[in-house]
Amino acid sequence: MSNKEQPVDQLFKELDENIQQSQYKKALRVFLLINKADVEAFQCKVICLMFNSSFQEALDCLKNAASPSTQSEPMLFEKAYCLYSLAKYNEALELIDKLKQQKTLRVQELEAQIYYKLEKYQKTIAIYEALLKEPGYQSDSGEFLTNLCAAYIDAGKIQECQDLINKNKSLMSKTYEFAFNAACLALYKKDIKTAETQLKLAKKVCVETLKKDGFSEEEIQEEASSVIVQIGYCQQLSGNMEEALESYQSIIDLSIGDSASLIALNNSVAIRSATSGTEKEDYQTSLDQIKSIITEQTENKLTTAQKCTVNFNHISLMLHLKKVGQCEEMVRSLKAKYKDSTQFTAELNEDLDLIVATLLTKDKKWREAEEILKSLESSVQSKPGIVATMVALYEKSGDMEKAVSCLDTLITSLENKKSKTEKEEDSYISLLKLNGNFNMKHLKYKEAASCYEKILKINANDLFALPSFIVATAHFDPTIAQKYEGKLPPLKFNDKIDVDAIDKLGLSFDKNEKAAATTSTTNVTAAKKSNEKAKAPVVPVQPKKPKRLPKNYNPDVKPDPERWLPKWQRSSNRGKRGPKGKKQDTLSRGPQGVVSQQQASQLAASSTSAPKFEQPAQQAAANKPRNINKKKKGKK
């Protein structure tokens, strides 16, 4: 018996050494030599599999235990943790309910994490705040504070999160996850500079900590992927698109497949589709990349808000590719899928409504597009862009009264406000300009002048309202136009004007340019926006061909006015001469049937002397000579 027990003791000793050295794979090999019915060995095996991130294998091991009553049932917590790690959150919660009688701290922590993954942030916060009141609980641990901070941010409890960070500022230089969450809070507040500073600190702490623990460069890069992607997002918000793309691409090239790499791919596609040209191939490539983000394997790695954003980009790309039917179908399925989700934000819902309205206008369904825009919230409806679209739709459907009342109602509501915010002031001016342009378009010059005059009372130097006011008043009261004409800024010209350059550029006013000049203001605005995104390449002006002059050209001598006529038609032509130098009576050149000048004069004289009469056919036959058909006899 002692001989049999000795090898088992040695195996357990070897097993303990491997576990202490984190050599879990070696430890798993030792389990093959131990009896499967041994309870302690079984439990050690499950723990080793979990430390080795082999959660599915650990779960199978628990399900296929030799003696469930003694081996798997006491390990319900480990089973719940495996289900949680495999994203089977509802199954994990069922096991947690069975363990609630134990009321251990680790069970409550796991329950909080499951609720966080299910995006039930209020329940997560309630559990964490209850743990803070537990005596002896390590509430100052970095992991607990990091998780609580993340729950506060996602639940929108900004003040509570800020208070938590202020109390534990020293933790940011020790735990990179806490510094990362502090940066996320700064981004939520739109403080990009502070966020970028804290993210750089988080990256530094992450690299230094992992290097001390003996991690390789690749492992460090993978662990810091979320921090690098967030730095790229800060660069993107700051307008540094090239730097942002470099940050995103560095994570995409790692091919990790985690949430950070999926977000990096989405953001890089969004940047490229916005900054590149409008080539169909570019949009198709971006669409293929977006499709690869949300699959069955990757869906659980993204939150609902992230999935909504990816799907919205998917819809936008299909809209660019004019896949109207697929676009409409995806919008409907997206709204039906996430209508009850708290993460399906009102802003995203409004964006989808605007896409639907755009699709309806493409199909010339003006009334239906109007109804969708009317269903938007009042704060969205009052935006100048939405108002301009509504006015355009009313014009298309021929309802001019609604177009006028739509503008007047919003302008009046803003006028009646005693104190306006800066944003409301800008909206008020934009609506006045829109109303002025609308009245000018429909030849209502007095109403247009009234709108521009209100703008000039706010800003007398508005370079859009001032010239527009002068043009409008010139149609009904030129004296007012002349009065304001002096307020226009003087045109400044350079001393050196290159006339040749102006001549080369030219000012051609052909039909196409006149038609382009009379296009609507909406098309001009769209052209300006497209020019801001991507400037078209400048086409080089081809130089004019030099004029070809005759070889013996003399600028001082006046050219012959008959130089374009043939020589025989010129006045200097003497015609052909006979043998005695007399001018021959030749036929005039020209079309067939023209006679000589002498014959022509005779005919003209005879025609004026007596009228012509038609002779009958018999008389014409009688006058024919008798021998007309006889042949002449020749000499023999």
Locate all alpha helices (DSSP H) within 52-120, ordered by sequence: 55-63, 76-85, 89-99, 105-117
- Which of 12-21, 130-139, 194-203 comes out lowest in average pLDDT? 12-21
- For tokens 């134990």, the residue is 102
- Which of 63-77, 199-213, 521-535, 584-598 comes out lowest in average pLDDT? 521-535
* Measured CA angle at 33 (ends 32, 36), to 5 deg: 65
pLDDT at position 607 over 50: no
Alpha-carbon distance of 233 to 253, in angstroms, equals 17
The pLDDT value given to residue 593 = 43
CA dihedral 444, 446, 452, 455 (to 10 degrees): -130
CATH numbers and ranges of domains, the chain = 2-168 (1.25.40.10)
- Which of 47-56, 199-208, 375-384 comes out lowest in average pLDDT? 375-384
* The one-letter amino acid at 421: T
Query: C-alpha distances in angstroms, 384 versus 180, 254, 357?
Result: 38, 44, 16
User: Which of 362, 385, 363 minimizes the C-alpha distance to 373?
Assistant: 385
Work out the average pLDDT over 592-616: 40
User: Which of 220, 191, 216 minimizes the C-alpha distance to 205?
Assistant: 220
Q: Which two three-digit tokens encode residue 395?
A: 């014009």
Determine whether 323 is exposed, middle or buried from the number of CB atoms within 10 Å of its CB (0-12, 13-18, 19+). Answer: middle
- Whether residue 355 contacts residue 331, with contact meaning beta carbons closer than 8 Å, is answered with yes
Work out the average pLDDT over 309-313: 86
User: Which of 166, 204, 206 minimizes the C-alpha distance to 185?
Assistant: 166
Alpha-carbon distance of 81 to 107, in angstroms, equals 9
Reported as a pLDDT band with limits 50, 70 and 90, residue 246 is very high
Q: How far is CA 93 from the centre of its chain?
A: 41
The pLDDT value given to residue 278 = 56
User: Which of 376, 380, 384 minimizes the C-alpha distance to 407?
Assistant: 384
pLDDT at position 74 over 90: no
- Whether residue 221 contacts residue 254, with contact meaning beta carbons closer than 8 Å, is answered with yes
| Higher-scoring residue by pLDDT: 609, 20 | 20
pLDDT at position 437 over 80: yes
* Measured CA angle at 554 (ends 553, 556), to 5 deg: 155
User: For residue 96, what is the DSSP state?
Assistant: H
Query: What share of the chain in percent tops pLDDT 70?
Result: 76
CA dihedral 352, 357, 361, 366 (to 10 degrees): 170
pLDDT at position 532 over 50: no
pLDDT at position 4 over 70: no
Q: Give residues with Cβ within 8 angstroms of 503, minimum separation 6.
A: none
Q: Give residues with Cβ within 8 angstroms of 430, minimum separation 6.
A: 384
Query: C-alpha distances in angstroms, 580 versus 269, 576, 583?
Result: 98, 12, 9
Q: How far is CA 575 from the centre of its chain?
A: 81
Reduced to 3 DSSP states, what percent helix, strand and coil does the chain have, rounded to the nearest 5? 65, 0, 35
To which H or E segment does residue 436 belong? helix 422-441
CA dihedral 487, 488, 489, 491 (to 10 degrees): -140
Reported as a pLDDT band with limits 50, 70 and 90, residue 219 is confident
Q: Give residues with Cβ within 8 angstroms of 619, minimum separation 6.
A: none
Q: Which two three-digit tokens encode residue 426?
A: 């800008």
Q: Which two three-digit tokens encode residue 306?
A: 């992230």
Q: How far is CA 32 from the centre of its chain?
A: 57
DSSP letters of 193-224?
Answer: HHHHHHHHHHHHHHHHHHHHTT--HHHHHHHT
- Whether residue 584 contacts residue 575, with contact meaning beta carbons closer than 8 Å, is answered with yes
* Measured CA angle at 353 (ends 401, 270), to 5 deg: 125
Alpha-carbon distance of 189 to 195, in angstroms, equals 9
Question: What region does 251 belong to: left with phi over 0, alpha with psi -120 to 50, or beta?
Answer: alpha
Q: Supply φ then ψ for residue 577, to 5 degrees.
A: -110, 145
Q: What is the pLDDT of residues 556-578, one digit of tens each?
A: 888 888 888 888 888 777 766 66
Query: C-alpha distances in angstroms, 536 versus 52, 103, 278, 279, 622?
Result: 55, 67, 11, 13, 88
Query: C-alpha distances in angstroms, 282 versus 142, 288, 317, 325, 598?
Result: 45, 10, 10, 21, 82
User: Which of 185, 222, 180 minimizes the C-alpha distance to 205?
Assistant: 180
Q: What is the pLDDT of residues 258-268, one digit of tens each?
A: 889 999 999 99
* The one-letter amino acid at 600: A
* Measured CA angle at 632 (ends 628, 636), to 5 deg: 170
pLDDT at position 2 over 80: no
Q: Which two three-digit tokens encode residue 617?
A: 């056919």
Reported as a pLDDT band with limits 50, 70 and 90, residue 61 is confident
Reported as a pLDDT band with limits 50, 70 and 90, residue 289 is confident
pLDDT at position 590 over 50: no
- Whether residue 278 contacts residue 284, with contact meaning beta carbons closer than 8 Å, is answered with no
Q: Which two three-digit tokens encode residue 108?
A: 């409550």
The pLDDT value given to residue 35 = 65
Q: Which two three-digit tokens encode residue 609?
A: 């002397």
Q: Give residues with Cβ within 8 angstroms of 327, minimum separation 6.
A: 315, 318, 319, 355, 359
Q: Which two three-digit tokens encode residue 101?
A: 């009688």
> Could you tell me the pTM of the whole model?
0.62
- Whether residue 451 contacts residue 412, with contact meaning beta carbons closer than 8 Å, is answered with no
Query: C-alpha distances in angstroms, 371 versus 354, 398, 404, 600?
Result: 11, 16, 17, 84
